[in-house]
Amino acid sequence: MAALKSDPDRAPAKTELARVLREFEDLVLRFETGLARSLADDALQSRGRDDVRHEACRLAIAEMGERCARRQIRRSLAAAEAQGRRVEQQLHAALEAGNAGGSGDDDDEMRGLHHGYFRLYSTELFDVLGQPTDLRLGTVRFHRQRQQQQQQQQQYIPHDHHVSVELALGASFFVADSLETLPYHAFKLPPAPSLQNRGILSRRPEHDGAFPHYDSWLLFTFLGNGCLKLDMPVEMCADVYGGPLRGRENEEIRFWGIFVGDGDDD
């Protein structure tokens, strides 16, 4: 059977619909050619060209759906990342101009971080994992010390220095508590947006308080305006997602967090 060939003289697609149709036709042609080559002549005759064409169309539709989903996911991740970068640049400019860090509004925003959570986005993780359409990212929530705990512990640590963190990542869960690294390291939320990163050591709650053998320090940068930046050790991501992340170390995967207030979620 003669090999099917695409027509190189076809005019470039000039509209989005034309581009999609052109992409679909090329996929059908590719799958049809592959199916025809994989079948012996007698098998091809028994199935019929219409059956081969039908199967090629089915495969092309599935592939188009995957490509469309990947584009939509990456567009959403890139939009969140762009928002975070824009806020970071604005904070840089404000600090250079001496116009950041002194307003009561900033203090109110930082004090309200425990009244919601940050939804995490990462184009870097999405790309490293091969752009899976079923990728689950995660959320991070900050908690202040409960009143009963404050009364028990205030004799040796100010309650505003005590912060606990809950991190949901993929199908895994991590926790962190600023008390667990004292007196060697203190973690607290900044009183105003800041470009300084702040680290806290995390662990899986099911491991009875034991920290993992790999690097599990979470580095947060609180940018204000409902945005934060999180640099997470690649070993943590490998523990959750596996795949091409396994075996990598001394690297970080960057996430951007967008704040969602309690009661504001979709």
Classify residue 38: in a domain, yes or no. Answer: no
Residue 252 in any domain: the answer is yes
Specify the pTM: 0.76
Give the number of other CB atoms < 10 A from CB of residue 202.
Answer: 24
189 and 113 in contact (C-beta within 8 Å)? yes
Does the residue 71 lie in any domain? no
Within-domain flag for 201: yes
Q: How far is CA 200 from CA 14, 79, 179, 219, in A?
A: 52, 27, 10, 7
For 85-114, write each residue's pLDDT tens digit.
Answer: 999 999 999 988 877 654 445 567 777 888
Q: Is residue 69 part of a domain?
A: no
Count CA atoms within 13 Å of residue 7 on its CB side. 6
Q: Is residue 68 part of a domain?
A: no
pLDDT in tens, 4-14: 444 555 555 46
Classify the phi-psi angles of 167: left when phi > 0, otherwise alpha if psi is within -120 to 50, otherwise beta: beta
Q: Is 11 helix (H, G, I), strand (E, B) or coil?
A: coil
What's the CA gap between 189 and 166, in Å, rounded?
Answer: 14
Domain interval for residue 168: 103-261
d(CA 86, CA 98): 18
**Which two three-digit tokens encode residue 34?**
């592959």
Q: Could you tell me if residue 122 is inside a domain?
A: yes
Percent of the chain with pLDDT over 90: 48
Q: How many domains does the chain have?
A: 1
Whether 187 is in a domain gets the answer yes
| pLDDT value, residue 3 | 42
pLDDT tens-digit profile of 8-48? 555 554 687 787 778 778 877 887 777 777 766 555 555 66
